[in-house]
């Protein structure tokens, strides 16, 4: 390739990269792996703190139920510019997973730091898992001489009927046992695993 052709090719490539960058400006991506069919991935267009549009890039939800829930939630979130929207009846898992994916994108866009507003006292440590049903599950754990003596859930996006109930049941078991090595709660495997991960991360922080 002679110099003239090489320069032309380089210019075309540069223009393509600029166009791609412009096209992506204001677009942020989020993902949640706990949909009924697995991964839900979204692209959220933001204008400042305003959610302007949501595009679903990947989903394998039940046609006619989960897919309808995604359409409804997309409208509700954009119309209200809020993630505090109702789940769609009969599509709880899809609803939490989709909203969790959107939340991840919005938080990236706004530079949200979940730990920024958390005050920790003596023997208190923060533990975060990003693998809850709806995304982040955050706890404040009191750890004394390597033993867990208290757990406070600061943030959770779990189903009220199953996930939040599972937390209420499992936390006392962890405290009684002094570790996360306790039985899970039937029907709430994802929530229980996220709680264990968050508490384990708090334990790790206490050892540093």
Contact 169, 192 (CB under 8 A): no
Q: Specify whether 129 is located in the same domain as 96.
A: no
- What is the reported pLDDT for 8? 45
Q: How confident is the model at residue 18 (pLDDT cuts 50, 70, 90)?
A: very low
C-beta atoms surrounding 22 within 10 Å: 9
Residue 203 has pLDDT above 60, yes or no: yes
- Domain count of the chain? 2
- For 4-8, 60-64, 83-87, 108-112, which range has the lowest pLDDT when averaged over its residues? 4-8
**Confidence grade of residue 78 (pLDDT, cut at 50, 70, 90):** very high
Determine the average pLDDT of the residues in 42-52: 97
Q: Are residues 29 and 106 in the same domain?
A: yes
- Residues of the chain with pLDDT > 70, as a percent, come to 89
Q: Evaluate whether residue 201 is within a structural domain.
A: yes
Stronger pLDDT, 15 or 22, i.e. the higher one: 15
Cα angle 49, 115, 95; round to 5:
60
Instruction: Output the CA–CA distances (angstroms, integers) from residue 170 to 75, 114, 163, 194, in the order listed.
Output: 35, 23, 10, 12
Q: Which of 78, 110, 142 is the last residue of a domain?
A: 110
What CATH number is attached to the domain comprising 34?
A: 3.90.1010.20
The last residue of one of the domains, among 110, 137, 157, is: 110
Asked if residue 10 has pLDDT above 70, the reply is no
Task: Kindly state the average pLDDT of the residues 160-184.
Answer: 92
Tens of pLDDT along 58-74? Answer: 999 999 999 999 999 99
Q: Is 193 contained in some domain?
A: yes
- Reported pTM: 0.83
In a domain, 34, yes or no: yes
Taking only the tens place, the pLDDT of each residue in 110-165 is 999 999 989 999 999 999 999 999 999 999 999 999 999 999 999 999 999 899 99
Residues 95 and 133 in one domain: no
Domain range holding 145?
124-206
pLDDT (mean) for 171-189: 91
Measuring CA to CA, which residue among 80, 101, 99 is closest to residue 88? 99
Over residues 65-88, the mean pLDDT reads: 97
**C-alpha dihedral over 67, 72, 78, 82, to 10 degrees?**
-100
Vertex 172 angle, CA 168 and 173, to 5°: 110
Cα–Cα dist 13/23, whole Å? 15
The pLDDT, as a whole number, for residue 16 is 45
Radius of gyration of the chain (CA): 21
Confidence of residue 1 (pLDDT cuts 50, 70, 90): low
- Per-residue confidence (pLDDT) for residue 22, from 0 to 100: 38
pLDDT of residue 25: 82
């Amino acid at each position: 390739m002679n110099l003239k052709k090489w320069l032309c090719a380089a210019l075309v490539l540069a223009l393509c990269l600029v166009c791609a960058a412009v096209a992506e400006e204001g677009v942020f991506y989020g993902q949640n792996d706990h949909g009924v069919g697995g991964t839900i991935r979204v692209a959220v267009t933001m204008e400042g703190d305003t959610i302007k549009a949501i595009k679903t890039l990947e989903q394998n939800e039940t046609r006619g139920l989960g897919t309808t829930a995604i359409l409804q939630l997309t409208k509700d979130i954009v119309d209200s510019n809020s993630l505090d929207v109702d789940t769609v009846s009969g599509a709880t898992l899809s609803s939490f997973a989709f909203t969790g994916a959107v939340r991840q994108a919005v938080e990236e866009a706004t530079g949200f730091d979940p730990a920024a507003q958390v005050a920790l006292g003596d023997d208190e440590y923060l533990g975060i898992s990003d693998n809850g049903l709806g995304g982040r599950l955050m706890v404040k754990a009191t750890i004394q001489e390597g033993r867990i003596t208290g757990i406070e859930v600061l943030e959770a996006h779990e189903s009220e009927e199953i996930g939040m109930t599972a937390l209420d049941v499992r936390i006392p078991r962890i405290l009684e046992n002094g570790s996360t090595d306790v039985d899970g709660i039937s029907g709430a495997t994802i929530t229980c695993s996220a709680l264990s991960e968050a508490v384990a991360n708090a334990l790790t922080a206490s050892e540093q």
